[in-house]
Amino acid sequence: MTRVVPDQKTKFESDELFRKLSRESEIRYTGYRDRAHEERIVRFQTECREGRCPISFASSGTNIVLYLGPALKDKKTETPAKEYLDFEKEPGKVHLMCHFVMNGVCVKFMGWMDAQRLDGAAYVEMDTERAKVEDKLFRETIEQTRVRMQEFEDRQRRVKQEPYEGQEHVSYSTNDYGMRMALQ
Residue 26 resides in a domain: yes
Is the per-residue pLDDT at 169 higher than 90? no
Three-class DSSP labels, 46-96: HHHHHCEEEEEECCCCEEEEEECCCCCHHHCCCCCCCCCEECCCCCCEEEE
Residue 34 resides in a domain: yes
What is the model's pLDDT at position 173?
A: 53
Is the per-residue pLDDT at 184 higher than 70? no
Whether the CB-CB separation of 40 and 77 falls below 8 Å is answered with no
> For 104-120, how does the pLDDT look when each residue is reduced to its tens digit (9 = 90+)?
999 999 999 999 999 99
Q: Mean of the per-residue pLDDT values for the chain?
A: 86
What is the model's pLDDT at position 165?
A: 59
Residue 157 resides in a domain: no
Residue 18 resides in a domain: yes
Residue 64 resides in a domain: yes
Residue 77 resides in a domain: yes
Least confident of 53-62, 85-94, 156-165: 156-165
Give whole-number Cα distances, 135 to 14, 37, 139, in Å: 18, 43, 6
> For 126-166, how does the pLDDT look when each residue is reduced to its tens digit (9 = 90+)?
999 988 888 888 888 888 988 999 999 988 888 888 766 55
**Percent of the chain scoring above 70 in pLDDT:** 83
Is the per-residue pLDDT at 25 higher than 60? yes
What is the model's pLDDT at position 11?
A: 95
Residue 98 resides in a domain: yes
Range of the domain at 44: 8-133
Give the CATH number, domain containing residue 25: 2.40.250.10
Cross-strand pairs, 85? 96
Q: How confident is the model at residue 78 (pLDDT cuts 50, 70, 90)?
A: confident
Whether the CB-CB separation of 29 and 113 falls below 8 Å is answered with yes
**Percent of the chain scoring above 90 in pLDDT:** 60
Residue 82 resides in a domain: yes
What is the model's pLDDT at position 4?
A: 85
Domain count, the chain: 1
Spacing of C-alpha 1 from chain mean position:
10
